[in-house]
Amino acid sequence: MPSESDSLHAGPISPRSDSHFSHSLAPAVAASQFVYWLRSVAPYIHNFRHRTFVVGFPGELVQAGRLNALIQDIALLTALGIRIVVVHGCRPQVEEQLRLRGLEGRFAQGMRITDSPALECLKEASGEIRLDIEAAFSQGLPNTPMANSAIRVISGNLVSARPVGIVQGVDFQHTGLVRKIDRAAIRSALDYGSVVLLSPLGFSPTGEAFNLSMEDVAVATAIALDADKLIFLTELPGMQSASGEVLSEISEANARALLASNDALQPSEAARGYLSAALRAAEGGVERSHLVPFDTDGSLLLELFLHNGVGSMVVEETLEALREATIDDVGGILSIIRPLEDDGTLVRREPGTVERDIERFSVIEHDGVIFGCAALFPFPESSMGEMACVAVNPGAQGQGDGERLLRHIEQRARAAGLKRLFVLTTRT
For residues 207 and 224, is the Cβ–Cβ distance under 8 A?
A: no
- In 3D space, the residue among 175, 185, 162 whose CA is nearest the CA of residue 85 turns out to be 185
Contact residues for 425 (Cβ-Cβ < 8 A; gap 6+)? none
Mean pLDDT score, 381-387: 93
Q: How far apart are CA 40 and CA 35, in angstroms?
A: 9
pLDDT at 308: 77
Indicate the residue type of 105. G
Contact residues for 356 (Cβ-Cβ < 8 A; gap 6+)? none
The least confident of 36-45, 66-75, 154-163, 322-331 is 36-45
pTM of the model: 0.73
For residues 93 and 268, is the Cβ–Cβ distance under 8 A?
A: no
In whole numbers, what is the pLDDT of the chain averaged over residues? 86
pLDDT in tens, 277-313: 999 999 999 989 999 999 999 999 999 998 778 999 9
pLDDT at 149: 63
- In 3D space, the residue among 38, 153, 183 whose CA is nearest the CA of residue 88 turns out to be 153
CA dihedral of 322, 326, 331, 337, whole degrees rounded to 10: 50
pLDDT at 177 over 70: yes
Residue 317 banded pLDDT, cuts 50, 70, 90? low
Mean pLDDT score, 261-274: 69
Q: Domains, the chain, ranges and CATH? A: 6-319 (3.40.1160.10), 321-422 (3.40.630.30)
pLDDT at 16: 37
pLDDT in tens, 120-175: 999 999 999 999 999 988 876 666 555 666 689 999 999 999 999 999 999 999 99
By the 10 Å C-beta count (0-12 exposed, 13-18 middle, 19+ buried), 191 is classed as exposed
Q: What is the DSSP string of 344-399?
A: TSS----HHHHHHTGGGEEEEEETTEEEEEEEEEEEGGGTEEEEEEEEE-GGGTTS
Q: How far apart are CA 271 and CA 237, in angstroms?
A: 10
Indicate the residue type of 339. P
Residues in the chain: 428
